[in-house]
Structures are given as C-alpha cells and as structure tokens.
Amino acid sequence: MALFKTRSAAVYGIDAHLIDVEVDLYPSGSARDIITVGMPDTAVKESRERIKSALMNSGFGFPSKSVTINLAPANVRKEGAGFDLPMALGILGAMGAVRGLDQHLLVGELSLDGTVRPVRGVLSVAVCAQTEGIPTVIVPAENAAEAAVVKGIRVFGMRHLAEVVHFLSRPDEFAPAQPEPAPVPPDDFSVPDFRDVRGQSSAKRALEVAAAGGHNILLIGPPGSGKTMLAKRLPGILPELSFAEAIETTKIHSIAGMLPSHTGLLRVRPFRSPHHTVSDAGLIGGGIGMPRPGEVSLAHHGVLFLDELPEFPRNVLEMLRQPLEDGSVTIARSSLTLCFPARFMLVAAINPCPCGYFGDPTRECRCTGGIIQRYLSKISGPLLDRIDLHLEVPAVAFKELRTPGGEAESSAAIRERVIRARQHQARRGFTNAHLPTQALRKLCVLDDAGERTLETAVRKLGLSARAHDRILKVARTLADLADSERVQAKHVAEAVQYRSLDRNYWS
C-alpha cells in the first residue's frame, strides 16, 4: 500500500484555504477505480475520468490498483476542477514517479491529453500559499501572471502534466514567473473624458463632489440629457487603485472568472452597469452551489451604475441597503456563511416619470399624477436616504451642444482636485462618505450660520437623521475641495441643494 500527499487550495468567498490531497493505492477486486472522498462536488467527482485519460495520454500509465483520494478537511465542501493537477500528481507520487511535494502548492484543471487549463481564484490561492509559508506554487501558465504579484513565493506556470513532472525532477531548468510591469496608461481617445460633455456644469460639479468623497449620487432627467454619458466618465476622475485595492479587486474578478488570461493586477477601477432584468443573485451574489460574487462586489473600489432605476425589481433594489451601509455582502447558507466586499460608488439614473418629460419646459408630459407617483414609489425612502447627492440633469440647450469641445474642462483637471481632496481624507483614515459617527461630529463642527442653514433644511425638507449625517459628510467633502479646515455655511448650503430633489419629486 502506497500513500502520498500533495497540497492544493479551495476558494471560499474571496479567500483560499489549504487543502491536503491524500492519495492511497491498494489492491482491490475492481481494479483501476478512483474513489474521491472529502465532500467533493460533481466537478471534482468527474475529475477521475479526466485524470485517467491525462495520465495515460501523457505516457505515465495508470496504476493497476484501486485509488482512494481524500480531500481534507473532510467537513468542507470542495468545488471546481482545480484539484485535477494535485490529484494526478498524488497518484504519480503513490506510484513512485514523483517525490518531494511538501514545499509545493498545486492547482489546475487537466484536459484529456494532459494540458493544464486555467482556473478561477489563483490570486487567492497564491495569497494562501504566502500565508501558510509554502514557498512554491504551480499553476496553469495562463494564471501565472496573476499569481506572480504576490511577494515572498515562487510561481511557476505550467502548460502540460509532463512539464510539471519534469519540473519536479529538474527544478533548476525553470525560471519563476515575474510580476508584469504596470500597464501603460491608454491614450486620451480611449478614455471617456468630461471634455466631451457639452453643458451640464452643475452635473459635472456634483460628480466631482461625489468622486472626491466617495459619495453615492442620483441623476434625474429626461431621456437624452446625458445621464449615462456623465456616469461613464466618473471612473476617469477617481484616484488610481492602491496596491491593496488592486489585490482585492483582482481577487473578486478572478473568482468570478472575469479576469483575462495572462493578466496580473487590475489597475483600472471597475465600472459595472447591469441591466434592470438582473436577478437578486446576479446583483448581490449567491447562486446555486458555492456562492459567487454579484455585480455589487464586481464594482468593489469602483462604480456601480444602475440606469432606469425604477425598472429594477423593488426586492432587488432593497438588497442594496446592506452593501451601501456596510461595504460588504453576507451570504448565508445552511453549511457556510461567506462575506464578499462591496465598497462601491452607486450612480443611479432615472427619468422623472414613465414618459420622461415631467417638468420639461419644451416637451409635454403625458403622465398623470397617479402614474408618476406609482413610478417613483418603486424607489423606497430608506434607499434614497443612502444616496448622498440627488441632482437634476436637464436637457442640453442647442447652443451648448454646438460649443467647441476645447472649451470644456478635461477629466485630468477635475481628477487633480479630486486627488487633493482625497489626500486630506487619507490623513484622517476615512473617505468622507464612510466617516464614523464619532469622527463626523468632530470633523464637521459648524458655526452659527452653518447650524441655522442645516436646521432650516432639516425642518423644511423633513429629512431623516441619516440624511442629516449625509449632508454633513457632503459638506465636509466640499470643504476639502476648497482646502478648508472648517466646514462653512456655504458648504452646508451647497450640500443641502443636493438633497432637495428627493422631496421635490417624492413629496
């Protein structure tokens, strides 16, 4: 009887956990069988056929004894085809064909001819190896750039099972994968620029404020007024991803299977724009089997744009409350509970009524008051309270449409002011949108004029306590943009203007 052990990892949420792959050969009446235990899912159970063919077609043969494979710990469900490679090498080790895998962590799917295919979540696996003190990670060649960004480990990308066996016998003949250099910034024509937007000066100002403080924003306007165009240009004025943010964002996209091949870290802030037919699992995360990240997590450290907000099912929109408040999504199942990060900027766009022309000075609205109320009532008050800025985006006049593009301010100029405001916040340890209550009271001390302005707004508009706090947070951002240490009355007054539309339309 021969016993051999290899190491792999399984991804739960955005983190990977070490899995021991134990292989045992023993004589049996039914030879050449593979039995897999340790709570494997269907993909893992089916790996026995892939492993048999891969070993035979790679010239290694297959043992005449029965094979038992244990994936430990046995009380945790194992999912995916990434265990193919460690299981195949475990069988070769039990046959005596390879040895010395204690310092290696392996992951990869096998084709029938022995080709090593890419898998999801390799960055999380590499981080797990670093945490567990495993110095060498063997991954599919297409995932090598992704894993190589983790420091303190050696990553080797392999294309075939025979290549892995050759590496284990002669490791000096192989060079570890190197992290890819930071990508060259794309040319100006490939990045949506605010210079292309004609007019809409108030909307540009509001988006600058939102970007500077990480605030959520609601755009209200008729069809064709430029709401989508403005939203798509928001990532261009946000600061670059830090290394820690890039790691976390890349993990999520890798687990979701949305990371392009041969890609290292994602450097561009994500912009996600799901259709209004998206399901609750598609937006928040979950699904059948092991829960997967949804759109709110794919937008982590970026922008989630919801166009035609009232067209989304109300139950789906209500699920946004937790990520907007906590910056994470908790998905509970009977056997496990997973938490996905979801710290994003929400940009929502709506028409003022079903036909889109309520309040338009040039087009007649065909909607009755009851129809408009039913349309807008699809968005609940608690959800509106979690949106910091409400902004009306009117149709652009003909004269502004014909204004030469060179006269408009570029995204680069706006971005410089946003970065300067974010630097003030970085010294405090929080972006203004996520200031804790205790820090908010300390950083937003108002003078008498500011107190009167805020009191009048809360009384006349009937704002909630949450809306009161969000006005203060926006005012703090306006002060940061003005390089002001104190929040002044003019900052409060401008912040109040960004909250007035929820009562103008929803009263």
Residues 343 and 304 sit within 8 Å (Cβ to Cβ): no
- What is the bridge-based pairing of β-strands 34-37 and 66-72? parallel
Q: Which two tokens stand for residue 321?
A: 């409350």
Homologous superfamily of the 188-428 domain (CATH): P-loop containing nucleotide triphosphate hydrolases (3.40.50.300)
Question: Range with the lowest mean pLDDT among 150-154, 354-358, 387-391, 403-407?
Answer: 403-407
User: Partners of 5 in the beta sheet?
Assistant: 22
Classify the C-alpha dihedral 118-124-129-135 as positive or negative: positive
- Distance of alpha carbon 20 from alpha carbon 7, whole angstroms: 5
- Distance of alpha carbon 279 from alpha carbon 276, whole angstroms: 9
- Average pLDDT, stretch 145-165? 95
- Distance of alpha carbon 227 from alpha carbon 356, whole angstroms: 13
Question: Range with the lowest mean pLDDT among 223-232, 302-311, 473-482?
Answer: 223-232
Cα 243 → chain centroid: 15
For residue 186, whether the previous peptide bond is cis, meaning omega lies within 30 degrees of 0, is no
- The dotted CATH code for 435-507 is 1.10.8
Upper half-sphere CA count for residue 366 (Cβ side, 13 Å): 3
pLDDT at 502 over 70: no
Classify the C-alpha dihedral 427-432-436-442 as positive or negative: positive
> CA distances (Å), 282 to each of 12, 89, 249, 275, 297, in order?
18, 36, 18, 10, 10
What type of residue sits at position 137?
A: V
In the chain, list all ranges with CATH 3.30.230.10: 2-173
- Listed residue (184, 238, 469) closest to 347, CA to CA: 238
Place of tokens 């007054």: 493
Element (H, E) at 436: none
- pLDDT value, residue 398: 65
DSSP label of 181 = P
- Average pLDDT, stretch 134-144? 96
pLDDT at 99 over 90: no
Please, which pLDDT band fits residue 31 given cuts at 50, 70 and 90? low
3.80.10.10, 3.30.230.80, 3.40.50.150, 3.30.230.10: CATH of 2-173: 3.30.230.10
> pLDDT by residue (tens digit) across 103-133?
999 999 999 999 999 999 999 999 999 999 9
- Distance of alpha carbon 35 from alpha carbon 55, whole angstroms: 16
- pLDDT value, residue 263: 81
Long-range contacts, 259-262 (Cβ 8 Å, 24+): 259/146, 261/118, 261/142, 261/143, 262/142, 262/144, 262/145
- Average pLDDT, stretch 319-348? 90
Taking 3-state DSSP, the helix, strand and coil percentages for the chain, each rounded to the nearest 5, stand at 40, 20, 40
Question: Range with the lowest mean pLDDT among 226-230, 351-355, 501-505?
Answer: 501-505
Please, which pLDDT band fits residue 504 given cuts at 50, 70 and 90? low
Strands (E), 159-294: 217-220, 271-272, 285-286, 292-293
- pLDDT value, residue 1: 43
- pLDDT value, residue 272: 95
- Distance of alpha carbon 148 from alpha carbon 125, whole angstroms: 11
Please, which pLDDT band fits residue 42 given cuts at 50, 70 and 90? confident
In the chain, list all ranges with CATH 1.10.8: 435-507
Assign 272 to helix, strand or coil.
strand
pLDDT at 289 over 80: no
Place of tokens 């949450």: 466
pLDDT at 441 over 50: yes
> CA distances (Å), 293 to each of 252, 325, 340, 342, in order?
7, 18, 7, 9
pLDDT at 275 over 80: yes
- Listed residue (446, 438, 501) closest to 476, CA to CA: 446
- Distance of alpha carbon 166 from alpha carbon 233, whole angstroms: 50
Mean residue pLDDT across the chain: 88
> CA distances (Å), 261 to each of 83, 120, 294, 417, in order?
19, 11, 21, 35
Please, which pLDDT band fits residue 291 given cuts at 50, 70 and 90? confident
pTM of the model: 0.89
Q: What percent of the chain has pLDDT over 90?
A: 56
Residues 378 and 310 sit within 8 Å (Cβ to Cβ): yes
Residues 120 and 254 sit within 8 Å (Cβ to Cβ): yes
Question: Range with the lowest mean pLDDT among 85-89, 357-361, 439-443, 465-469?
Answer: 357-361
Please, which pLDDT band fits residue 78 given cuts at 50, 70 and 90? confident
Cα 401 → chain centroid: 35
- Average pLDDT, stretch 240-248? 92
- pLDDT value, residue 357: 83
- pLDDT value, residue 29: 55
- Listed residue (291, 294, 292) closest to 270, CA to CA: 294
- Average pLDDT, stretch 271-278? 94
Cα 89 → chain centroid: 34
Residues 477 and 215 sit within 8 Å (Cβ to Cβ): yes
- Distance of alpha carbon 64 from alpha carbon 311, whole angstroms: 61
Q: Which two tokens stand for residue 187?
A: 């040319």
Please, which pLDDT band fits residue 401 given cuts at 50, 70 and 90? low
User: Partners of 347 in the beta sheet?
Assistant: 217, 305
Residues 463 and 470 sit within 8 Å (Cβ to Cβ): no
pLDDT at 188 over 80: no
pLDDT at 168 over 70: yes
- pLDDT value, residue 32: 63
